[in-house]
Amino acid sequence: MERVYRQGRKRGGRKAAWILAVVFISMAAVLFFLSGARQIRSDSPGVEWIREEGRITQVVIDGQFPYCNIIPAVTEESIRDSGGNVTAITRTYAFETGFSLRMRGTYKIDMESASDIEYTYILKFADRDVVIENGREAG
């Protein structure tokens, strides 16, 4: 009888090991597919365009579950005149989101405008590039 008991117990252990392996592989596959960065669309529910008197003054981007982590890539170029004064500044933002269950990401861009310097913001989204020149959308 003791031998039969050991075989039955061994089979139960194998079933538990298989179930545990399937759960582990499933969780690894879900994390693998969700861990890649995704691009944000300009009309996503987390993208808010704040306007005052017809000018865009701020862009607020909230991460949406499960891609809550906002990852911006920012580059800036400036043009100077012969006297060394800055005449134009161009900032380019490329947005992606990353998987995060704990972190809630919000990214804000304050649009600057001045009479003597031309500010250009290029926001690269998945669906289109938005160009904003001195608070007004070009295009």
Q: What is the DSSP string of 25-68?
A: HHHHHHHHHHSS-EEPPTTSTTEEEEEETTEEEEEEEE-BTTB-
Averaged pLDDT of the chain: 80
Query: From CA 69, how far away is CA 99, in angstroms rounded?
Result: 6
Structural contact between residues 68 and 45, judged by C-beta atoms closer than 8 angstroms? no
Q: Is the pTM of this model over 0.75?
A: no
Encode 40-71: b = buried (16+ Cβ within 10 Å), e = exposed: bebebebbeeeeeeeebeebebbbbeebbbbb
pLDDT digits (tens, 9 = 90+) for 1-22: 455 555 555 556 778 888 888 8
Tell the burial category of 76 from Cβ atoms under 10 Å away from its Cβ (0-12, 13-18, 19+). Answer: exposed
Residue recorded with tokens 């808010």: 48
- Please indicate whether residue 95 or residue 89 has the higher confidence score (pLDDT): 89
| 29 vs 111 pLDDT, higher one | 111
Give all strands of the β-sheet with 47-52 in edge-to-edge order.
47-52, 55-62, 106-110
